[in-house]
Structure 1
Amino acid sequence: MKIYGTSLVCLLLIGMASPWNVESAKASAPYINKVVQQSSHITGTVTDGTDPIVGATIKVKGATNGTVTDINGRFSIDVKPGTTLEISYVGFSTKEVRASRGMSVVLEEDRKVLDEVVVTALGIKRDRKALGYGVGEVKGEELQKAKETNVINSLAGKVAGLVVSNTAGGASGSTRVILRGSTEMTGNNQPLYVVDGVPLDNTNFGSAGTSGGYDLGDGISSINPDDIESMSVLKGPAASALYGSRASHGVIIITTKKANKERHTVEYNGSFTLDTQLARWDEVQEVYGMGSNGSYSVDAISNTNKSWGPRADGSNMLTYFDGVERPYLIIPNNISHFFRTGFTATNSVILGMNTGNTGLRFTYTDMRNKDIVPKTHMSRDIFNLRANTSIGKVDLDFSGNYTREDVMNRPALGDSKSNIGKNLMTLANTYDQEWLRTYQDENGEYSNWNGMDPYNVNPYWDVFKNRNTSKKDQFRLTGKIIYNVSKHFKIQGTAGADLNYFMFDDYKAPTTPGFEAGQLQTRNFRNRMYNFELLALYNNSWGDFDFNSTAGGNIYKVNNSTTTTTARDMEIRDVVSLLSFNETSIQLGSWRKQINSLYGSVNLGWRHMLYLDATVRGDQSSTLPTNKNVYVYPSFSGSWVFSELLHAGNVMPYGKLRMSWAQVGSDTDPYQLALNYTKSRYTYPGHSIGYINNSVIPNKNLKPTRTNSFEIGLEAKFLNNRISLDMTYYNQKSKNQIMGMATSWTSGYTYRLINAGEIENKGVEIQLGTRPIQLKDFSWDINVNFAKNSNKVNKLVDDMQLFELERAPWLNVEVAAVVGENFGSIIGPDFKRNEQGQVLIDPNTGLPTYDTSNHILGNASWDWTGGLTTTLTYKSLSLSALFDVKVGADLYSMSARAT
């Protein structure tokens, strides 16, 4: 802070520091007079050698009494002359001095604080100022403030350009993360997760489509937030290029905690969260009741999921399926009482031991969740061990994690017959869900309440008669050895294994609509992922120059196998077992994949001000043709720390410009190059029938998808680091998309696999952090982030203008990639409208008129996203609030259309 600076700077300083600091000084004086006898009035100033420091803390060593400096860096305190004072400020080393009249204290910058260190690709720690690309970072303590059942949910609203979304799969469901938009039309577009230098298997063993299904969770949910030291978010290809094709959508690096140095610790962390029904079905019309086209069925069996019958004014009485006669009236919030209050209880015990060169940290976490849907619950046990030691020039680091998860009655999703949420939300507004408690007759069979509609099963039947269970065992092992050859050179070897075993049983009781004979399906998944890496790292300094380099290689292998057993026609109805069914079929599946990689990087710095980086990586993928399975891609980045030239002092202690360009490639799924075969459950005559298992025509000429990216950014800190700013502009294009194009069914295939299409993502990201109030024992922090991304489809193939991604055939609505539009256009018929946009009404029926041709109804991409975090801290207590903001995406609701 330059006192001779502009009047604007002075006003900012007065607004941010003076009022609170003066009050604090006044408030502290009476207290000091009471506890200090024979004291003198000591005055002084605190500077950084040039400029005064505003808000520096001055207190008696070993005591709590003290004060803070004012706008001119001055302070006064009543103490005995010669008393030891501690003087401190953020970004500066704490200094101890003897109290004397008219004293002047100079604080020195703490380079460890100013040179912020972040974890980058390959787990290498680097100064943030040396990076030519943007990196988001969230500390472990931020993830523990409000614990989630999936730790990745805690990133929502904290990092610009990172979008977190969930399904309705409950506490055990998966979390979807998108960084800077979708880059592939048919890929999952999710980032790579790396834990302590080893990629994590984030396989989702099951997800829902338009016709239904279950969300069977993901691998990242096995990470305990109590074990996390920090998370680094590498958003651009330049940041993630060294991780190869698996990181083409970005990387989230998780660094776990080690044992505290020279300490033995025992910790307990607990949290308890209540869950209630948030969305209430009250934004529906309350004029017309059950029925369709202005009429209803006399017996009130059909049309139970539509609310477009006659006016519901109570003038009519209806006899329902249970034989009870009731008035034809609107029932507000007719589904609310189905749900209960749920909870999540999490308890963790942490043991730490450190004896010099050896550290050991063990964590056990017990998580219990009761869902708001009756008879739905989850238990998850996580065991985590990390051990590290040093023996001479050798450093050893080992971590092991075991997760056991049991789930009862995961919710069915999409248009599943057993989707409880859908079946309740489409319930007619004159129909109370309480009436559905009569879900079975005297024989224990399904009560016909809606004409045996197979698409809307009674929710109480699903809760009390049908059921599904899942069990997951996940083992994650990592070993790392570092040989420090010299002060400047070391060799590092890492091996990791991620083993997932998952079992899912789905039982439909006899007489269930669509499963009248009963059915039990058991699926067993086994996914084993291995990573082996060898790195050589060198760093040195010569005069004004700093040099760092890495060279290494990686082998990634994954083996997956699936066994699906389906049993039909239940004979013994009292025992749910495969042996209770008359017909059983088994389907086996397996696949393998391997990527071999070589890579290297060079980092050059000059006078801690100019930095240049270059990386190159080559991958060889088993999923691509042998003549095209090796792809090489480079990246270049640079940064200029211009604050080293400005010498602006506390007004702007840090300022940096950065720029990067990068290219990454990505492959496809296994077995897309040739025909593969399987056996049918049918036999003739007495022999198994084999058939081609491909639904896609193989393509022996596939090429990897390529993404080119350019990024430029500005980072700055102002007013003694109390304001921080990070702004980024980026543009990235992904071409040679690997896409399945529809083909004639007469060919025996559904799609043909080709390279085509281009998606462009460009946008801006802004991250702003402030501390408007800083007192001795109290502070207020506000952090805001904003991101706007344009996710355009530039081209498809030949003259094609639309590529279908997913379709709801019963609505004639689809989600598609449309040339010239943002990715994820919603296409379908629309109402006929006049020039003013008003819906045209048929004068004969009084109903809206439809245009059956396709129109763009909306888009699934967000216009902009952002977040706001505010934290009040008083001594060791803090109160935080988080707002996660997503604006502008469109949703087509089948439920709203029905009601």
Structure 2
Amino acid sequence: MKTRAVLVLMISFLVAPPLFAQQKTITGRVTSEQGASLSGVTVSVKGTGNTTSTNTQGDYSIAAAAGQTLQFRLIGTGLVERAVGSEDVINVQLRRVALDLDAVVVTALGETASQRSLGTAQQSIRGAEIADTKRENFFNALSGRVAGVDVTSTSGVPGASSSLVIRGVSSISSSNQPLIIVDGLPIDNRTVNTGVLASDKSSVTAFSNRGVDFTNRAADLNSQDIETLTVLKGPEAAALYGIDAANGAIVIKTKRGRAGGGMQYSSTVRVEATRANYQLQRVYGPSSLIDGSQASLQYFGAPYPAGTQFYDNIDGFLRKGLSQNHNLSFSGATADNTINYRLSTTLDKQEGVVHNSDLNKINVTGSSQARINSWLNTDLSMIYSYANNDQVYKGDIGPLMGLMLWPQSDDARNYLTPAGTRRLVTAIGAGTELDNPYFNVAKNKINAKTNRLIANVGVVVTPFSWGNIKTNLGTDNYTTQNLLLRHPESVTGYSQRGILDLADVISRNLSALTLLNVNNHALTNSFSLSGFVGHQVSDFKSTSDAQTGINFLDPNFVSMNNTGTRSTLTTIEQRRLVSLFGQAVLDYKDYWYVTLTGRNDWTSTIPRGRNSFFYPSVSTSFIFSDAFPGLRRFVTGKVRLGFAAVGKDARPYAYRPSLQYKTTSYGGYGYDFWGPNLALKPEFKRSIEGGVELSFLNGRL
């Protein structure tokens, strides 16, 4: 009994929070220079892990003791500190500055650093700025907001994919997309390749990545759940991510709960319309066969006779798009801020300007942080997304091609015969005449249903005063069910009497990261040193099971059981990456910094013996206005310079030949066209970058 009592007493000392000072609840409001309330301002007790943020009204609540200091931070404004005295209410006004060298920003691996210490180029954006754009794909919200970032959207229909490239194309054989990190977890941003469809095995039925647009998976994230987004530009900034970040990285921090958050609801309704004004000729009629036997077309048909009735098929076909967004969130924290929580759900419903193109998406996001005791902190987060996307085909098999070329003398709305079959307007045949646009969107279909779960567990242990150990475990899993129909009477499905593609894609990405952080340690009166070392394991696997059916028995019944000839294709892709890395930062009098990083990757996509690669980087930052205080009256700024080497590994199985079914007279299996490449090496990219960041008139310019 005595032993048990002693054990309970020891545990209580370990888990009990320190009570060295009497804490009280400090409340207040944070506003801009113009008096407007500022949401998302980070409020923290200096020197502790006690942090909260302001709500939409700019209000905050935090526990602190007299004598402690509150820090107020917001991207684009100067740092403000206020000492806690006898008052219980502290209101603060933040001033926007052109250059804030004391701002704390997110860097590689989710670590934070002072802006003055960075010798690399990066740019941060508040989540509120992204959410205010009301874009369904947050990639599109970055267009024009981040220097050096080029965002390209494939179209304006719901669910259209977007491509994001930082500082131009750097590879001709691999992806040029940046790495995306959400709360420390790398997430998948790929689009489905039509090569996983069984129809791509035949040149007759293959899409070859034309005519179809699958959503990039970063669109599954809800922009209203983003707290901050940081773009790491170039190899110097993203070198610690190694192979995966040769094109830069986007580091996203999602929102967390805060005291006084409560319930919030927002709703947005948007009407969309096209701005295009097409000029179509109404002089010559549709072309026809030159004679009854040759499959050759005249460039122009005969002139329209006087008095011909014309139809505005374009305005009649395109409709007003309607988008709705509804967001409901709950957040809060305990009185002493040891535990905070947030739960958010969002419904997106988008109807495109083209008929039968729509997107229905549901997002549920939850998070909780807890300070278990003085040496243990936890951070849990979860994102669930469901998307149901109906799209239309694009390019030469899409409805817009038929709309532009449809005869102006024919009412395109009449696309069916009295018998319910496709109505033709020329004599060139159903396999050659372009589909009526109304027939195309009504009979040819693309549908994708995606379920995705991103879960993350973070633990920070501080067993000693000189540093801490940080562990992050996460998983990114999604399944996508794809259906692609080319109707038996359409120009794309006529020769095969209909083509139906079904493909189920299952993707899984596991990541484990461990960091040993070393706090800033004074070497001398002038020099100090800080840094970290770490280890990471990433395991990715994607499996696709696809079926293709042709020769429809009933032209209007969409089912694989309704096809006469079927084929299947299973595609498996797997990759494992193991990494060791480290960083050291040397600080001289808080105005000159030198940062050294190194990372070694072992990848499964390169033959053993050649699959180990080391990527170094070095950068420096010199705050000349602090080194020479007399300059502050005129200018504040820093000079930075950096060098880095990064690379990209090969796609999985690139160095091994694959077996393929042969259609020769003897059949069987054989090697594909590409032979083995056992000497395969990764791409390497070396970069040198320099820059100057200046601010004039006491930060106002």
TM bucket normalised to smaller = 0.7 to 0.9
Aligned CA distance change for structure 1 residues 56 and 523 (closer, same or farther; 3 Å): closer
Match of 2:446 among 468, 474, 477: 468
Cα offsets for 1:374-417 (capped at 9, x unmatched): 12211000011111111121111111111000012x121233x2
- Cα shift at 1:455: 6.6
| Matches of 1:421 and 1:197, distance apart in 2 | 42
| Matches of 2:414 and 2:316, distance apart in 1 | 15
Whether the 8 Å contact between 1:212 and 1:412 is mirrored in structure 2 is: no
Counterpart in the other structure of 2:604:
622
Counterpart in the other structure of 1:487:
465
SS at match of 2:458: strand
| Matches of 1:424 and 1:361, distance apart in 2 | 48
Cα offsets for 1:205-241 (capped at 9, x unmatched): 1469777231111221111111111111111101000
Question: Is 2:493 the counterpart of 1:515?
Answer: yes
SS at match of 1:435: coil
- Cα shift at 1:287: 8.0
| Matches of 1:379 and 1:342, distance apart in 2 | 14
Counterpart in the other structure of 1:525:
505
Counterpart in the other structure of 1:458:
436
| Matches of 2:191 and 2:147, distance apart in 1 | 26
Counterpart in the other structure of 1:354:
333
- Cα shift at 1:642: 0.4
Match of 1:431 among 398, 408, 416: 408
Counterpart in the other structure of 2:229:
231
Larger CA deviation: 454-463 vs 398-407? 454-463
Greater Cα radius of gyration, structure 1 or 2: 1
Whether the 8 Å contact between 2:101 and 2:116 is mirrored in structure 1 is: no
Aligned CA distance change for structure 1 residues 200 and 338 (closer, same or farther; 3 Å): same
Matches within 5 A, 1:314-713: 314=304, 316=305, 327=308, 335-355=314-334, 356-392=337-373, 393-408=375-390, 410-415=391-396, 417=397, 419-425=398-404, 427=405, 431=408, 435-450=411-426, 451=428, 452-454=430-432, 456-516=434-494, 517-542=497-522, 543-573=525-555, 575-648=557-630, 651-652=633-634, 654-678=636-660, 690-692=668-670, 694-713=672-691
- Cα shift at 1:446: 1.8
Counterpart in the other structure of 1:116:
103
SS at match of 1:563: strand
- Cα shift at 1:174: 1.4
| Matches of 1:273 and 1:707, distance apart in 2 | 44
| Matches of 1:667 and 1:568, distance apart in 2 | 38
SS at match of 2:411: helix
Whether the 8 Å contact between 2:383 and 2:454 is mirrored in structure 1 is: yes
- Cα shift at 1:368: 0.1
Match of 1:258 among 256, 259, 262: 256
Whether the 8 Å contact between 2:646 and 2:685 is mirrored in structure 1 is: yes
Aligned CA distance change for structure 1 residues 594 and 120 (closer, same or farther; 3 Å): same
Counterpart in the other structure of 2:200:
none
SS at match of 2:464: coil
Counterpart in the other structure of 2:14:
none
Aligned CA distance change for structure 1 residues 92 and 384 (closer, same or farther; 3 Å): closer
Aligned CA distance change for structure 1 residues 378 and 690 (closer, same or farther; 3 Å): farther
Whether the 8 Å contact between 1:389 and 1:397 is mirrored in structure 2 is: yes
| Matches of 2:360 and 2:627, distance apart in 1 | 57
| Matches of 2:114 and 2:359, distance apart in 1 | 42
Cα offsets for 1:172-225 (capped at 9, x unmatched): 121101111110012221101001111111121146977723111122111111
For structure 1, the 5+ residue unaligned runs are 1-54, 59-87, 97-106, 318-325, 724-899
For structure 2, the 5+ residue unaligned runs are 1-31, 36-71, 84-93, 196-206
Aligned CA distance change for structure 1 residues 456 and 556 (closer, same or farther; 3 Å): same
- Cα shift at 1:270: 1.8
- Cα shift at 1:291: 5.6
Match of 2:152 among 152, 165, 174: 165
Larger CA deviation: 115-124 vs 270-279? 270-279
| Matches of 2:156 and 2:212, distance apart in 1 | 7
- Cα shift at 1:339: 0.4
- Cα shift at 1:93: 5.0
| Matches of 1:217 and 1:704, distance apart in 2 | 28
- Cα shift at 1:141: 1.3
Aligned CA distance change for structure 1 residues 94 and 509 (closer, same or farther; 3 Å): closer
Counterpart in the other structure of 2:183:
196
Aligned CA distance change for structure 1 residues 265 and 697 (closer, same or farther; 3 Å): same
- Cα shift at 1:290: 4.2
Match of 1:146 among 123, 133, 136: 133
| Matches of 1:453 and 1:652, distance apart in 2 | 73
| Matches of 1:431 and 1:211, distance apart in 2 | 32
Aligned CA distance change for structure 1 residues 397 and 93 (closer, same or farther; 3 Å): closer
- Cα shift at 1:373: 0.7
Aligned CA distance change for structure 1 residues 91 and 437 (closer, same or farther; 3 Å): closer
Whether the 8 Å contact between 1:291 and 1:303 is mirrored in structure 2 is: no
| Matches of 1:699 and 1:374, distance apart in 2 | 48
| Matches of 2:96 and 2:445, distance apart in 1 | 63
Cα offsets for 1:64-110 (capped at 9, x unmatched): xxxxxxxxxxxxxxxxxxxxxxxx997475899xxxxxxxxxx9999
- Cα shift at 1:720: 2.5
Counterpart in the other structure of 1:156:
143
Aligned CA distance change for structure 1 residues 148 and 57 (closer, same or farther; 3 Å): closer
**Structure with the larger strand share:** 1
SS at match of 1:388: strand
| Matches of 1:578 and 1:494, distance apart in 2 | 43
Aligned CA distance change for structure 1 residues 514 and 258 (closer, same or farther; 3 Å): closer
Report the residue type matching 1:537 in the other structure: N
Counterpart in the other structure of 1:862:
none
SS at match of 2:147: coil
Whether the 8 Å contact between 2:660 and 2:672 is mirrored in structure 1 is: no
Aligned CA distance change for structure 1 residues 95 and 128 (closer, same or farther; 3 Å): closer
Report the residue type matching 2:521 in the other structure: S
Whether the 8 Å contact between 1:206 and 1:214 is mirrored in structure 2 is: no
Matches within 5 A, 1:793-812: none
- Cα shift at 1:622: 1.0
Cα offsets for 1:429-448 (capped at 9, x unmatched): x525x622222223222222
Whether the 8 Å contact between 1:207 and 1:215 is mirrored in structure 2 is: no
| Matches of 1:391 and 1:352, distance apart in 2 | 19
Aligned CA distance change for structure 1 residues 108 and 612 (closer, same or farther; 3 Å): same
Report the residue type matching 1:395 in the other structure: N
Larger CA deviation: 474-483 vs 693-702? 693-702
- Cα shift at 1:421: 1.8
SS at match of 1:412: coil
- Cα shift at 1:585: 1.8
- Cα shift at 1:575: 3.3
Aligned CA distance change for structure 1 residues 92 and 225 (closer, same or farther; 3 Å): closer
Over the residues paired in the alignment, what is the CA RMSD in angstroms? 3.2
| Matches of 1:514 and 1:152, distance apart in 2 | 32
Percent identity over the alignment is 26
- Cα shift at 1:453: 4.6
Aligned CA distance change for structure 1 residues 613 and 114 (closer, same or farther; 3 Å): closer
